[in-house]
Amino acid sequence: MALDIKQGPRAKKSLGQNFLQDKNTANRIVDALKIEADDHVIEIGPGPGALTHLIHDRKPAWFTILEKDNHWAHEHKRQPPAGDPELQVVLTDALLFPWENLTSDKPWKVIGNLPYNVASPLMWDILSKATGLKRAVFMIQKEVGDRIVAAPSSKQYGALSVWLQSFCKPKREFIVPPGVFIPRPKVDSAVLSFVPIPVEERDFDPAALSWLLKVTFQQRRKQLQKILKGCIASGIDDALEKAGVVGTARPETLTTRQFQLLADALKSCPKK
Footprint of ligand SAM (CB under 6 A): 15-20, 44-47, 50-51, 66-69, 72, 93-95, 113, 115, 118
Helices and strands (H, E) in the chain, number of each type: 10, 9
Using CB positions, name the residue nearest to ligand SAM. 45
Nearer to ligand SAM, 84 or 93 (CB): 93
Nearer to ligand SAM, 15 or 61 (CB): 15
Cα 87 to chain centroid distance, Å, stands at: 23
CA distances from 221 to 159, 163, 250 (A): 14, 19, 6
- CB of 113 vs ligand SAM, minimal distance in Å: 3
Nearer to ligand SAM, 46 or 158 (CB): 46
Nearer to ligand SAM, 113 or 120 (CB): 113
Q: How far apart are CA 239 and CA 261, in angstroms?
A: 9
- CB of 20 vs ligand SAM, minimal distance in Å: 4
Cα dihedral: 259, 265, 270, 272 (round 10): -20
18 assigned binding-site residue: yes
Alpha-carbon dihedral sign for residues 124, 126, 130, 136: negative
Q: How far apart are CA 167 and CA 199, in angstroms?
A: 8
Q: What radius of gyration, in Å, describes the C-alpha atoms of the chain?
A: 20
244 assigned binding-site residue: no
Please name the residues in contact with 235: beta carbons below 8 A apart, sequence gap of 6 or more. Answer: 266, 268, 269, 270
Q: What is the DSSP string of 169-233?
A: EEEEEEEE-GGGEESPPSS-EEEEEEEEPPGGG--S-HHHHHHHHHHHHTTTTS-HHHHHHTTB-
93 assigned binding-site residue: yes
Nearer to ligand SAM, 61 or 95 (CB): 95
- CB of 136 vs ligand SAM, minimal distance in Å: 15
- DSSP 3-state of 161: helix
Nearer to ligand SAM, 183 or 244 (CB): 183
- CB of 131 vs ligand SAM, minimal distance in Å: 21
- CB of 67 vs ligand SAM, minimal distance in Å: 5
Q: How far apart are CA 104 and CA 107, in angstroms?
A: 7
125 assigned binding-site residue: no
Nearer to ligand SAM, 51 or 209 (CB): 51
- Contact assessment for residue 29 and residue 52, using Cβ atoms and an 8 Å cutoff: no
- CB of 185 vs ligand SAM, minimal distance in Å: 8
Sequence ranges of the binding site: 18, 20, 45, 67, 93, 113
- Residue positions forming the annotated binding site for S-adenosyl-L-methionine: 18, 20, 45, 67, 93, 113
